[in-house]
């Protein structure tokens, strides 16, 4: 059962499962309401072998004004999903974010590093993590970062679009993390699930960069004539504060499933396929 199957990651999951010949049932709004126990029970039934939760409130800036809603979806609803999966004895694969960390580090964050989010979105996701961690069930929490795909609304598609329309772009160069292809994240997640791994993992692509580095690589493909220049976060203020350094340590994941694809290679495979 893939919850949020029409979103960026959910779409990647559905494509992967079809490719592997694994039966999958999609669940999307408005038919599914993950904040309603009765709705969850209707979808997650005794035929369900695993629940992949790709449903989330993902508007980082919007969460500053609507933290209660973000927490209801990213936190409280996860408790309901955990309870239902525990009742059926099946695994829940749940996704969290690099934004649960404070961004003050200078080395990749291991999975057991204390969380201290600097924005409402991060706080809402930490609530969800806590609900999964409190269960003894066979569940997976996979933190990811800077997610993109050939479809949906994401940074790669936005920069590629602007690079074709504008002569120049300014992008922040003081926030560092790991880009993640939704397609690769789905494959990594399935490998962890099928390998019997449980608990907390980090799932991204390999390597790290700043948003400026990322944007420059995108623009070079979309339109090399577009000049991408670095700027500071202060020059590009947003409602939600972002962690300056949110590189996730992926060594535990790589030990479990093998090397993760470098972000430059992942990006190169996606750029020609942007919808």
Residue-wise pLDDT tens digits, 160-205:
999 999 999 999 999 999 999 999 999 999 999 999 999 999 999 9
Name which of 186, 180, 204 is nearest 253 in CA terms. 204
Given a cut of 90, whether residue 3 has pLDDT beyond it is yes
Q: How far is CA 239 from CA 63, 82, 105, 236, in A?
A: 9, 31, 22, 10
pLDDT for 153 equals: 96
pLDDT for 70 equals: 99
Query: Measured on CA atoms in the order 265, 242, 120, 128, is the torsion positive or negative?
Result: positive
User: Token pair of 58, please?
Assistant: 């993902």
Helix H or strand E encompassing 228: strand 227-231
Delimit the domains of the chain by residue range.
Answer: 2-154+178-208+242-262
Mean of pLDDT values over 205-233: 98
Mean of pLDDT values over 98-119: 98
CATH superfamily name and code, 2-154+178-208+242-262: NAD(P)-binding Rossmann-like Domain (3.40.50.720)
Residues with a catalytic annotation lie at 121
Conformation bin of residue 144: beta by default, left when phi > 0, alpha when psi is -120 to 50:
beta
Q: How far is CA 165 from CA 155, 168, 219, 263, in A?
A: 15, 9, 11, 25
Question: Is the pTM here over 0.75, yes or no?
Answer: yes
- Mean pLDDT, rounded, of the chain: 98
CA-only gyration radius of the chain, Å: 18
- Residue labelled with tokens 């350094």: 245
Given a cut of 90, whether residue 116 has pLDDT beyond it is yes
Mean of pLDDT values over 240-247: 98
Tens digit of each residue's pLDDT (9 = 90 or more) over 44-96: 999 999 999 999 999 999 999 999 999 999 999 999 999 999 999 999 999 99
Given a cut of 90, whether residue 259 has pLDDT beyond it is yes
Distance separating alpha carbons of residues 109 and 114, to the nearest angstrom = 9
Please, which residues have CB within 8 angstroms of residue 256's CB and are 6 or more apart in sequence?
191, 192, 195, 197, 201
Q: Is 216 exposed, middle or buried (0-12, 13-18, 19+ CB in 10 A)?
A: buried
Q: CA-based angle 44:50:52, to the nearest 5?
A: 85
pLDDT for 275 equals: 83
Please, which residues have CB within 8 angstroms of residue 61's CB and are 6 or more apart in sequence?
238, 239, 240
Name which of 98, 80, 71 is nearest 43 in CA terms. 80
């Amino acid at each position: 059962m893939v919850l949020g199957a029409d979103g960026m990651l959910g779409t990647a999951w559905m494509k992967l499962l079809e490719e592997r010949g694994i039966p999958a049932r999609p669940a999307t709004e408005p038919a599914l309401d993950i904040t309603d126990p009765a709705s969850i029970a209707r979808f997650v039934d005794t035929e369900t072998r695993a629940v992949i939760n790709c449903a989330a409130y993902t508007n980082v800036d919007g969460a500053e004004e609507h933290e209660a809603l973000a927490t209801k979806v990213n936190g409280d609803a996860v408790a309901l999903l955990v309870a239902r999966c525990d009742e059926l004895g099946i695994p829940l694969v749940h996704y969290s974010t690099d934004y649960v960390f404070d961004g003050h580090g200078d080395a990749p964050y291991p999975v057991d590093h204390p969380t201290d989010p600097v924005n409402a979105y991060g706080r809402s996701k930490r609530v969800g993590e806590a609900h999964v961690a409190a269960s003894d069930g066979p569940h997976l929490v996979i933190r990811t970062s800077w997610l993109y795909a050939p479809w949906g609304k994401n940074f790669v598609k936005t920069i590629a679009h602007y690079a074709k329309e504008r002569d120049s772009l300014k992008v922040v160069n003081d926030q560092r993390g790991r880009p993640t292809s939704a397609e690769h994240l789905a494959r990594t997640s399935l490998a962890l699930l099928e390998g019997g791994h449980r608990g907390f993992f980090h799932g991204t692509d390999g390597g790290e960069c700043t948003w400026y580095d990322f944007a420059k690589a995108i623009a070079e493909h979309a339109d090399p004539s577009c000049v991408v220049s670095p700027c500071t976060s202060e020059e590009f203020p947003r409602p939600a504060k972002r962690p300056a350094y949110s590189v996730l340590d992926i060594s535990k994941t790589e030990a479990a499933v093998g090397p993760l694809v470098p972000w430059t290679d992942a990006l190169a495979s996606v750029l020609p396929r942007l919808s």
